[in-house]
Amino acid sequence: MTIKFLGLFVLTFTIFTAAQRTCPPIVPEPTQPARTKRQLDKNKDGSSFLWVIEDTYAGKTFFDGFDFFAERDPTNGSVEYVNQTVAYANGLAYVTDDDHVFMKGDQWSWLDWGVNRQSVRIESKKHYTTGLFILDLNKAPWGCAIWPAFWTVGMPKSTWPCLGEIDIIEGVHDNSHNQVAWHTAPGCLLTDKPAVNFTGTKVHSNDCDAFINHNAGCGITDWSRASYGPFFEAQGGGIFAMKWDENSIAVWNFYRAAIPRDITTGTPNPDQWGTPSAMLDSAGCNIPRFFANHSIVFDITFCGDWAGNSYATSGCPGTCPERLRDPRNFENATWDINTLKVYRKQLFSGGVVGSHNGVGRASHFGWAWLLSLWLFAGP
């Protein structure tokens, strides 16, 4: 087994895998057209839509939207996930006066052999079915023995993997390439290049089925060295964006100097961001039937199924249990977050939808042009 293969063991709720081998079909909800103004994007069928803000997680109220998960790590990490009270008391979760949201692994305690290191895992109270998730962060955790993830997963947990799992930021040790992955019920396949465009490299299998290949799922390694670890941090962090709709699930990342203006202005249009790092396209996977009711999760674990099993070949010193003992090894086990914004898709029915002929496109273009003029000329 290669490290990359092990890499896709990922975040599984292992206790459920043995029990459940089939999934009832998800029945997708119909999307309602809406009447709104501003930037337009286009579906494959030609209909227009835009992304409007639904939730902002930021500053002093960031943690209000999350539950602290204080149970045994399902990925077998040498971690003690603590509840909110302990996390606050021990400085593992806090918000600074200038609204940086921090989550950390314990960076202060020397541990006896075999003792787990304290850390934090949080899960959004609200569940989402589709959306545009934009995380602005200054630092993501990295370093030997450290395994962080920012991901979404179907709730309740007992349904896993029937409602799907989307791993947006994930890696171990000193990796400098982020890995995006999907874990689903049987029947969802990743369509590779050149039929579908993404800049990353497919990791292992095309089959996202979590019941096979030891839950390897299907994954894509980011092309950019600035997508994970020390290089991402050296850029001052940046943006990770995950777009999930009926057409595809795609992930982009931008280091700070390259953040598109439409993100900064709060009117995101992924259509203008160029080729994504990773994409699961509806060509091989009926997205609405494999993904629903996701909670947003941040965690930092140590050793375990990925960081532990790959430790010996990682180039990191000693062994993972040894590494775990010294708090100085965890100085970079830190999430430093500015905002997490969730946008929802609204179909546009402003008199241009349904025009598939040349005239319609021209008037559509005129509309978009006028609206963007209005947008950019605004205060």
Ligand X SMILES: *[C@@H]1O[C@H](CO)[C@@H](O)[C@H](O)[C@H]1NC(C)=O
Q: Given candidates 305, 320, 324, 368, which one binds ligand X under the rule CB under 6 A? A: 305
Give min distance, CB of 268 to ligand X, in A: 20
Residue at token pair 């020397």: 110
Give min distance, CB of 356 to ligand X, in A: 19
Answer for the pair 172, 147: CB distance below 8 angstroms, yes or no: yes
- Asked if 199 is part of the footprint of ligand X (rule: CB under 6 A), the reply reads no
Is the CB of 58 or the CB of 143 nearer to ligand X?
Answer: 143
In DSSP terms, which residues pair with 299 in a beta bridge? 121, 149
Structure tokens at 76: 């077998």
Q: Given 29, 54, 71, 165, which residue is catalytic?
A: 165
Is the CB of 163 or the CB of 352 nearer to ligand X?
Answer: 163
Is the CB of 267 or the CB of 277 nearer to ligand X?
Answer: 277
Longest dimension (CA), the chain: 73
Range in contact with ligand X (rule: CB under 6 A) among 95-103, 179-187, 326-334, 354-362:
326-334
Q: Given candidates 8, 26, 220, 287, which one binds ligand X under the rule CB under 6 A? A: 26
What is the distance between the alpha carbons of residues 206 and 325, in angstroms, rounded to a whole number? 38
Range in contact with ligand X (rule: CB under 6 A) among 114-122, 245-253, 264-272, 329-337:
329-337
Q: Given candidates 90, 201, 206, 293, which one binds ligand X under the rule CB under 6 A? A: 293
Give min distance, CB of 178 to ligand X, in A: 17
Give min distance, CB of 68 to ligand X, in A: 9
- Asked if 135 is part of the footprint of ligand X (rule: CB under 6 A), the reply reads no
- Asked if 14 is part of the footprint of ligand X (rule: CB under 6 A), the reply reads yes
Supply the DSSP string of 109-178, one letter for each residue: ----TTPPEEE-EEEESS-BSSEEEEEEEEE---BTTEEEEEEEEESSGGGTTTT-EEEEEE--BT--S-
Q: Given 71, 80, 123, 170, which residue is catalytic?
A: 170
Range in contact with ligand X (rule: CB under 6 A) among 57-65, 89-97, 324-332, 354-362:
324-332
Name the burial class of residue 64, with classes exposed (0-12), middle (13-18) and buried (19+) by CB atoms within 10 angstroms of its CB.
Answer: exposed
> Does 170 participate in catalysis according to the annotation?
yes
Range in contact with ligand X (rule: CB under 6 A) among 113-121, 247-255, 328-336, 348-356:
328-336
- Asked if 197 is part of the footprint of ligand X (rule: CB under 6 A), the reply reads yes
Answer for the pair 36, 50: CB distance below 8 angstroms, yes or no: yes
> What secondary structure letter does DSSP report for 209?
B
Is the CB of 138 or the CB of 332 nearer to ligand X?
Answer: 332
- Asked if 355 is part of the footprint of ligand X (rule: CB under 6 A), the reply reads no
Is the CB of 199 or the CB of 372 nearer to ligand X?
Answer: 199
What is the distance between the alpha carbons of residues 346 and 36, in angstroms, rounded to a whole number? 8
| Overall size of the chain counted in residues | 379
Binding mask 231-270 for ligand X (x = CB under 6 A): ----------------------------------------
At 24 the three-state DSSP class reads: coil
Answer for the pair 275, 177: CB distance below 8 angstroms, yes or no: no
What is the distance between the alpha carbons of residues 317 and 217, in angstroms, rounded to a whole number? 29
At 63 the three-state DSSP class reads: helix
What is the distance between the alpha carbons of residues 286 and 234, in angstroms, rounded to a whole number? 38
Binding mask 71-100 for ligand X (x = CB under 6 A): -----x------x-xx--------------
> Does 165 participate in catalysis according to the annotation?
yes
Q: How far is CA 255 from CA 177, 200, 234, 263, 270, in A?
A: 13, 16, 9, 13, 16
| Footprint of ligand X (CB under 6 A) | 9, 14, 26, 76, 83, 85-86, 143, 163, 195, 197, 230, 292-293, 305, 329, 331-332
Q: List active site positions.
A: 165, 170
